[in-house]
Amino acid sequence: MTARDQVRTADRRSGGGREARRAERREAILQAAMELIAERGYRGTSLAAVAERAGLTQQGLLHHFPSKELLLVGVLEARDRWDTAAAAATGAWRTDTLAGLVEYNAGRPGVVQTYTVLAGDSVTEDHPARDFFERRFRRVREGLAGVLRTEYGDRLPGGLTPERAAPLLAAVMDGLQLQWLLDPAEVDMTAAFGDFLALLGAAGGEGDASAAGAGTDES
């Protein structure tokens, strides 16, 4: 079903109440925005184009998302929900789940570009996406710590706790996305992330007692 069809269905629906129709219309707008971002990229996606794709006026779209930044935050929130639901269907998150997500992202550069641009812009004071990214990174660090604990237990091979290693893992994932967006011919994001996971699992093996010992005192 297209975004326009979803809006028409919401308009025809007699049951479910106003909130249900509002939620359906928001989902249709987000689907339209996701489609356009995939086709045109971050800069090429305008509110007018999203409204047209969803079968709404621009004023109607602004009723749900008052600015382009807030619409794009909504797209990223929806992406996170969909990704989490898809991964949950496979069972517990593990590092190979993360590798699969990196590979999947390599097939949707427009959404990755949107995420990267908004994440960078959000560090400025009073940016409308700042709260979203602050909450998201806290949640991501917590989730990655859980992934690492599932994979390695309370200590990684190099001696770090999962909580200490989680920000590093998040930095690698986002940093690879940036390099890949800038130079996709030179940076194979999927392969590079696999290389990092191999290093993560091999770090601090036999003969690196100093690293393991140093990590024992970390909290």
Residues 6+ apart with CB under 8 A from 94: 147, 150, 151
pTM: 0.77
- pLDDT of 188 > 70? The answer is yes
Distance CA 27, CA 42 (A): 19
Q: Tell me the pLDDT band of 85, cut-offs 50, 70 and 90.
A: confident
Q: What's the pLDDT score for residue 17?
A: 80
At a CB cut-off of 8 Å and minimum separation 6, what does 37 contact?
45, 75, 110, 111, 113, 114
pLDDT digits (tens, 9 = 90+) for 34-63: 999 988 888 889 999 999 999 999 999 999
Tens-digit pLDDT profile for residues 123-178? 998 899 999 999 999 999 999 999 999 999 999 999 999 999 999 999 999 999 99
